[in-house]
Amino acid sequence: MVDNNRRLANHIDGTIQSANQEVNTLRVELNVTNQKLLELSMIGSRPTRGTRYISRTRLTTDTMQLNKVVEENKSLNGSNRQLQKEIENLKQQVTNSENRNKESMLGNYCNKKQINVEDYVKKLIKKSSLALTSDRKRLKQEKTELLNQIQEMQNTIDDKEEQLRDFIREFELQIKENEEIMRESDDQRNRLTRERNDLSRRLQDQVEIVTSLRGEVVGNEKRLREMEAEVLIVSDLFCNFNIDVNFACYMPLAYCLNVLRYFCNLRTASSQLQGSKRRSFHISVEESYATHNKTLNISGGTEPNSASQLQDPLLIPASSPTSPRHYLQGQGSGGNSSSSEDVHADVVNGGSLGHSYTRRTKIVQNISGSLSRAFRRGKNRKSLDIAKIIFPDADVFLTSSQSNLFERSEEEKKETLTTNQNLPMHKWRADAVLVWLELVLHMGQYSKECAENIKSGKVLLGLSESELDKCLNIDNVLHRRKLWLAIEEFRNPAVTVANMSAAGQLDHWWVCEQWLRDVGLTQYASRFREHLIDGRTLHSLSRKDLERHLGMEKKSHQESAMRGIELLRMLAFNTQRLDERRQMCQTRDTDVLVWNNARLIQWAKSVDLKEYSSSLRDSGVHGALLVLDPTFTSDDMANALGIPVNKATVRRHLASEFEALVKPA
Give DSSP secondary structure letters for 228-245. Answer: HHHHHHHHHHHHHTT--H
User: Does residue 67 have a pLDDT over 90?
Assistant: no
Return the percentage of the chain with pLDDT > 70, whole number: 60
Residues in Cβ contact with 254 at an 8 Å cutoff, skipping those fewer than 6 apart: 298, 299, 300, 314, 316, 372
Nearest alpha carbon to residue 623 among 553, 518, 521: 518
Q: Which residues contact 505 (CB under 8 A, 6 or more apart)?
A: 535
pLDDT at 65: 56
Residue 14 clears pLDDT 90, i.e. is over it: no
Residue 210 vs residue 40, higher pLDDT: 210
Which of 69-78, 154-163, 237-246, 377-386 comes out lowest in average pLDDT?
A: 377-386
Task: Quote the pLDDT of residue 654.
Answer: 93
Task: Give per-residue burial for 163-199: e unless 16+ CB within 10 Å, then b.
Answer: eeeeeebeeeeeeeeeeeeeeeeeeeeeeeeeeeeee
The answer to which of 231-235, 394-398, 519-523 has the lowest mean pLDDT is 394-398
Q: What is the CA radius of gyration of the chain?
A: 69
- For residues 289 and 618, the model is more confident at 618
Q: Is 532 left (phi over 0), alpha (psi -120 to 50) or beta?
A: left
Residues 27, 29, 32, 36: what is their CA dihedral angle, to the nearest 10 degrees?
-120
pLDDT the model gives residue 97: 64
**Is residue 281 scored above 90 in pLDDT?**
no
CA dist 9 and 1 (Å) reads 13
Instruction: Supply the pTM of this predicted model.
Output: 0.44
- Asked if residue 461 lies in contact with residue 425, where contact means CB atoms within 8 angstroms, the answer is yes
pLDDT at 167 over 70: yes
Interatomic CA distance for residues 251 and 244, integer angstroms: 11
| Residue 382: predicted pLDDT | 36
Q: Are 456 and 429 contacting, i.e. CB atoms less than 8 angstroms apart?
A: yes
Give the span between the Cα atoms of 586 and 613, in whole angstroms: 17
Residue 600, pLDDT > 60, answer yes
**pLDDT in the model for residue 530:** 93
In the chain, where are the structural domains located?
2-42+81-223, 241-327+336-390, 405-490, 508-662
Query: Coil, strand or helix: which one is 287?
Result: strand
d(CA 404, CA 431): 8
Give the pLDDT score at 548.
Answer: 93
Instruction: Fold for 508-662, please state it.
Output: DNA polymerase; domain 1 (1.10.150)
- pLDDT of 592 reads 93
In the prediction, which pLDDT does 292 show? Answer: 34
The model's pLDDT over 446-502, given as tens digits with 9 standing for 90+, comes to 988 998 899 899 999 999 988 988 889 998 999 999 999 999 999 998 988 888 999
CATH class of 405-490: mainly alpha
The per-residue pLDDT for range 529-554, each reduced to its tens digit, is: 999 999 999 999 999 999 999 999 99
Q: Determine the length of the chain.
A: 665
Q: Is the dihedral of CA 170, 176, 180, 181 positive or negative?
A: positive
Write the CB contacts of 520 (distance below 8 Å, at least 6 apart in sequence): 560, 596, 597, 616, 617, 618, 619, 620, 621, 622
- CA atoms of 377 and 389, how far apart (whole Å): 24
- Residue pLDDT, tens place only, 143-162: 888 888 888 888 889 888 88
CA distances from 28 to 37, 99, 111, 346, 541 (A): 14, 21, 15, 192, 118
- pLDDT given at position 194: 79
- Phi-psi domain of 633 (left: phi exceeds 0; alpha: psi -120 through 50; beta: other): beta
Q: How confident is residue 409, by pLDDT bands cut at 50, 70 and 90?
A: confident
Average pLDDT, the chain: 72
pLDDT band at 352; cut points 50, 70, 90: very low
Q: Checking DSSP bridges between strand 283-284 and strand 250-251, what pairing results, if any?
A: antiparallel
Q: Is the pLDDT of residue 367 over 80?
A: no
What's the pLDDT at 380? 38
Q: Residue 284 pairs with which residues in a beta bridge?
A: 250, 252
Q: Give the CA-trace dihedral at 620, 623, 625, 627, to 10 degrees.
A: 160
Residue 295: beta bridge partners?
288
Strand 287-289 to 250-251 pairing: unpaired
Give which of 424, 430, 530 is closest to 487, Cα–Cα: 424
The C-alpha atoms of residue 524 and residue 561 are separated, in whole angstroms, by 11
What phi, psi does 339 have (nearest 5°)? Answer: -75, 155
- Phi first, then psi: give them for residue 456, nearest 5 degrees: -165, 170
Residue 395 phi/psi, 5-degree rounding, is -70, -20
The yes-or-no answer to whether 405-490 and 508-662 have a common fold is yes
Q: Is the pLDDT of residue 231 over 80?
A: no
Amino acid identity for residue 579 in this structure: D
Calculate mean pLDDT across residues 227-234.
78
Task: Give the residue, 277 or 139, on which the prediction is more confident.
Answer: 139
For residue 452, report the phi and psi dihedrals to the nearest 5 degrees.
-80, -35
DSSP lists the bridge partners of residue 252 as 284
Q: At 581, is the secondary structure helix, strand, or coil?
A: helix
Percent of all residues in the chain with a pLDDT value above 90, rounded to a whole number? 29
Mean predicted confidence (pLDDT) in 583-611 = 92
For residue 617, how far is the Cα from the chain centroid? 8
More confident residue, 236 or 138: 138
Q: C-alpha distances in angstroms, 12 versus 48, 131, 435?
A: 55, 10, 111
- pLDDT for the residue 99: 66
Residue 378: pLDDT band (50, 70, 90) is: very low
Single out the residue of 596, 597, 598, 477 nearest to residue 544, CA to CA. 477
Question: Could you give the CA distance from residue 374 to residue 367 in angstroms, rounded to a whole number?
Answer: 11
Contact at 8 Å (CB) between 631 and 534? no
Please tell me the predicted confidence (pLDDT) of residue 564: 96
Higher local confidence (pLDDT), 397 or 201: 201
Q: Rounded distance, CA 484 to CA 496, Å?
A: 16
- Please determine, for residue 642, whether its predicted confidence score (pLDDT) is greater than 50: yes
- Lowest-confidence region among 146-155, 237-246, 504-513: 237-246
Q: Which of 98-102, 640-644, 647-651 has the lowest mean pLDDT?
A: 98-102
